[in-house]
């Protein structure tokens, strides 16, 4: 089976370093919006360009690397992220530094297109807008978060992923 893995908030907690940036900018309303609904107008591409360390300071979600190593024994993994291309090196270093299994890193804002082209059978994702589009193409298992409770097939790394 081919499995796609989202990075931000699926295996990496970027909410914590992002929250720090928003608070420094006086964007507490933007932070509250992001925590409740995933997106906030305060979170623009510029915030990442101005603070690329958001990606490098992200903490791995507990159990994610171990679970993915187990999946990699029987399945082909792909990291599929909407992170911008300029963050490729930061992302590759983060994956290595945090002990994630080697797998191709695909960076694209059009995840449904990439998933279809790669023939991904299963996607691990957290973002509601991505989940809605991806469910038309492949099975999606949702990493539990306060902003994605509407989706039935959810998991936590502590419980593991049943593929």
Judge if 28 and 94 occupy the same domain: no
pLDDT score at 40:
56
Judge if 20 and 73 occupy the same domain: no
Domain that holds residue 41: 15-55
Q: Which residues contact 57 (CB under 8 A, 6 or more apart)?
A: 16, 17
Judge if 86 and 119 occupy the same domain: yes
Distance CA 102, CA 105 (A): 9
The answer to which of 9-23, 83-97, 102-116 has the lowest mean pLDDT is: 9-23
pLDDT score at 146:
87
24: enclosing H helix or E strand: helix 15-24
Q: In which residue are the tokens 């608070």 written?
A: 23
Judge if 72 and 83 occupy the same domain: yes
pTM of the entire predicted model: 0.90
């Amino acid at each position: 089976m081919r499995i796609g893995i989202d990075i931000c908030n699926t295996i990496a907690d970027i909410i914590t370093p992002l929250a720090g940036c928003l608070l420094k900018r006086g964007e507490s309303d933007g932070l509250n919006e992001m925590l409740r609904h995933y997106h906030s107008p305060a979170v623009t591409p510029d915030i990442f360009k101005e603070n690329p360390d958001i990606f490098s300071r992200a903490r791995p979600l507990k159990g994610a690397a171990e679970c993915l190593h187990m999946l990699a024994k029987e399945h082909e993994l792909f990291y599929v992220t909407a992170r911008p291309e300029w963050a490729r090196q930061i992302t590759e270093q983060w994956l290595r530094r945090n002990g994630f299994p080697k797998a191709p890193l695909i960076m694209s804002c059009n995840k449904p297109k990439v998933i279809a082209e790669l023939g991904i059978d299963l996607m691990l994702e957290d973002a509601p807008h991505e989940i809605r589009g991806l469910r038309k193409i492949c099975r999606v298992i949702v990493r539990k978060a306060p902003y994605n409770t509407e989706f039935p097939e959810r998991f936590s790394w502590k419980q593991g992923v049943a593929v």
